[in-house]
């Protein structure tokens, strides 16, 4: 027996959090009875589970790694008609959604999946998955500035956790530097805000690693499927 929200997420209905909302909204039925209790246990092999009156089917899970270009929204729809990440997945028929988000102007590694449980686990703050970014900044920070970032800086939502920060490239002529920053949290616009806090505004931001995964020459706007081993590695239990 499994929790209803987990079964819904695994069937690709939506992320686990969204599935909890669907249950609370009374949109989920188990064996023709409306269920609004979040802890309800079901047997996905036996029970007939419906969302908005439609039975859910087990669907094949897929896991994609996209090299997101800048100027693209991390969303599966946009009322304003801007480019969205799923525009780059022309041959994918499954309804996938992004694992976390990259800002409109951030490029690089983004995972997408239809496995709500996988997305839930990777986004859970307890997971502390390292995410590495290359940040091009205006100005050339000193070593002491990098140390501040590494130790933690105060943002409006609290201190940042320790990070790893290194010089990747310095261009004194153009007065810019490229830093490599690895963070273990996933707050909104975190890298941009950390660099703003030490007064080195970001002019370009690219995520180059997510956990054990890198971009490995994947061209901008292209995607690939993760291997079963890569999925397994990302799903390792939280220590």
The contact set with ligand URA (CB under 6 A) reads 102-103, 106, 189-192, 205
Smaller CB separation from ligand URA, 42 or 205: 205
Smaller CB separation from ligand URA, 18 or 70: 70
Residues listed for the chain = 239
* Choice among 103, 105, 169, 216 that is catalytic: 103
Smaller CB separation from ligand URA, 59 or 182: 182
Other Cβ atoms less than 10 A from the Cβ of 19: the count is 26
CB contact burial 153-188 (16+ within 10 A = b; e otherwise): bebeeeebeebebeeeeeeeeeebbbbbbbbeebee
Min dist CB 165 to ligand URA, Å, is: 14
H helix runs in the chain, sequence order = 4-10, 16-24, 116-123, 143-151, 190-197, 228-234
Min dist CB 211 to ligand URA, Å, is: 15
Separation between Cα atoms, residue 219 and residue 210, nearest integer Å: 17
Min dist CB 23 to ligand URA, Å, is: 30
Instruction: Check: CB of residue 234 under 8 Å from CB of residue 118.
Output: yes
Min dist CB 137 to ligand URA, Å, is: 12
Q: Which two tokens stand for residue 236?
A: 């390792």
**In angstroms, how far is the first alpha carbon of the chain from the final one?**
25
Residue 103 known to be catalytic: yes
Residue nearest to ligand URA (CB): 106
Residues catalogued as catalytic: 103
């Amino acid at each position: 027996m499994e929790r209803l929200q987990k079964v819904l997420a695994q069937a690709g209905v939506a992320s686990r959090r969204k599935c909890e909302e669907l249950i609370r909204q009374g949109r989920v039925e188990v064996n023709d009875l409306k269920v609004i209790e979040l802890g309800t246990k079901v047997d996905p092999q036996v029970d007939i589970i419906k969302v908005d009156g439609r039975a859910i089917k087990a669907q094949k899970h897929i896991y994609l790694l996209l090299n997101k270009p800048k100027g693209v929204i991390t969303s599966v729809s946009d009322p304003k008609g801007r480019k969205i990440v799923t525009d780059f997945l022309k041959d994918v028929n499954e309804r996938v959604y992004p694992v976390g988000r990259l800002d409109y102007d951030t490029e690089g590694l983004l995972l997408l999946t239809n496995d709500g449980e996988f997305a839930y686990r990777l986004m859970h703050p307890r997971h502390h998955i390292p995410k590495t970014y290359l940040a091009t900044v205006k100005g050339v920070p000193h070593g002491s500035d990098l140390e501040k970032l590494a130790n933690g800086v105060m943002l409006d939502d609290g201190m940042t956790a320790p990070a790893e920060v290194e010089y990747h490239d310095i261009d004194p002529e153009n007065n810019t530097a490229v830093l490599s920053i690895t963070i273990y949290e996933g707050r909104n616009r975190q890298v941009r805000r950390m660099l703003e806090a030490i007064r080195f505004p970001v002019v370009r931001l690219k995520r180059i690693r997510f956990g054990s995964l890198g971009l490995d020459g994947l061209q901008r706007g292209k995607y690939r499927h993760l291997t079963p081993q890569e999925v397994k590695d990302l799903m390792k239990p939280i220590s």
